Amino acid sequence: MRNIEKMKFTLMILALILTFSCKVKAQKNDLKIVCNELTKEKSEYSDVLIIKTCEFNNHLFKSIGKPDYKGRYSYNYELLQNDKTETIRNSDFFNESGIELEKIINVKLKAEYDSNSKIPEISDCMKWINFRYYKLNEFGISFTDKNQMEFNINYGIGSACFNVNSSSVIMELSELEKYLK
């Protein structure tokens, strides 16, 4: 009878330990993104501004899309801590392994650049891009509708080659978890 009581006690302790560890794991992996998008009419633009804000990991990611005279949108990005009004650098959002993330993004960008340079219809425009290594703080960060993080870079080559003026690297949040503070 005494052995049964010991086993019950041991099972109760194990159940409590497992319950606690599962809750801690769930909280750590709870990578929720809450986004809102609104449009704002501006008389100086042919179309409306698109303002998207996303809350993630106690930070606010803001992207503001402004149309050109043809209605094509270019975006500016801001990153803020939820309780602050001043912008912070991307590197302040990621941990010390952010340099590894920076390298991964650049490898993916370079692969896309090399691939696009071989497409005859856009190869002339691709020549205008002075491709180089980009620092983490140079990227605009936004989120897709599928809750993925998107790293955006504008090459600044002008409107004649608007279709290749910017590039994005999209990553799953599960891939990025190890780089978050």
Asked if residue 19 and residue 103 are part of one domain, the reply reads no
Asked if residue 48 and residue 22 are part of one domain, the reply reads no
pTM of the entire predicted model: 0.79
pLDDT of residue 22: 40
Residue 152 belongs to what domain range? 33-179
CA 105, 106, 107, 113 dihedral sign is positive
pLDDT, one tens digit per residue, over 108-139 is 999 999 999 999 999 999 999 999 999 999 99
Asked if residue 171 and residue 123 are part of one domain, the reply reads yes
Domain count, the chain: 2
